[in-house]
């Protein structure tokens, strides 16, 4: 998959929060959802998802509960806590500001003297 981009550090958490904000998901579901909403453009190693998920749970941004998946298997489902929702809003704003700043910086043309 040559046209997939590596993740920038710290962006995996943001993507997970975003994916889960659209509805409760189990781990594999989070992976699928990220693929779906990013148009399969981002490369995530599947295993790396889990430490990130657990970290978010520990920080109180996600909460987890065991349930049954669409494949009729036992799986742990994640959803956003209110702290998680707030955090997602802040992160999105911060990311957008950064992206705009980088974009405008990169768009600058050499000035004529």
Q: Which is nearer to another protein, 29 or 84 (CB)?
A: 29
Q: What is the largest CA-CA distance in the chain?
A: 69
Secondary element (H or E) of residue 100: helix 82-107
Answer yes or no whether residue 60 interacts with another protein by CB under 8 A.
no
Q: Binding segment for another protein among 16-24, 40-48, 83-91, 101-109 (CB under 8 A)?
A: 40-48
Answer yes or no whether residue 54 interacts with another protein by CB under 8 A.
yes
Q: Give the C-alpha separation, 56 to 30, whole Å.
A: 13
Q: Which is nearer to another protein, 59 or 86 (CB)?
A: 59
Q: Give the C-alpha separation, 33 to 40, whole Å.
A: 10
Alpha helices in 2-69, H assignment, sequence order = 11-21, 27-37, 49-58
What residues numbered 68-107 form the site for another protein, per CB under 8 A? 69, 71, 73-76
Positions in the binding site for another protein (CB under 8 A):
26-29, 45-48, 50-52, 54-55, 57-58, 69, 71, 73-76
């Amino acid at each position: 998959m040559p046209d997939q981009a590596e993740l920038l550090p710290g962006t995996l958490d943001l993507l997970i929060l975003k994916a889960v904000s659209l509805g409760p998901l189990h781990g594999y579901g989070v992976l699928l959802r990220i693929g779906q909403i990013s148009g399969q453009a981002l490369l995530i190693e599947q295993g790396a998802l889990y430490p990130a998920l657990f970290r978010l749970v520990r920080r109180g941004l996600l909460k987890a509960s065991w349930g049954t998946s669409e494949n009729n298997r036992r799986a742990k489902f994640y959803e956003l806590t209110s702290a998680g929702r707030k955090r997602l809003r802040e992160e999105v704003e911060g990311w957008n500001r950064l992206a705009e700043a980088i974009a405008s910086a990169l768009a600058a043309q050499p000035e004529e003297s």
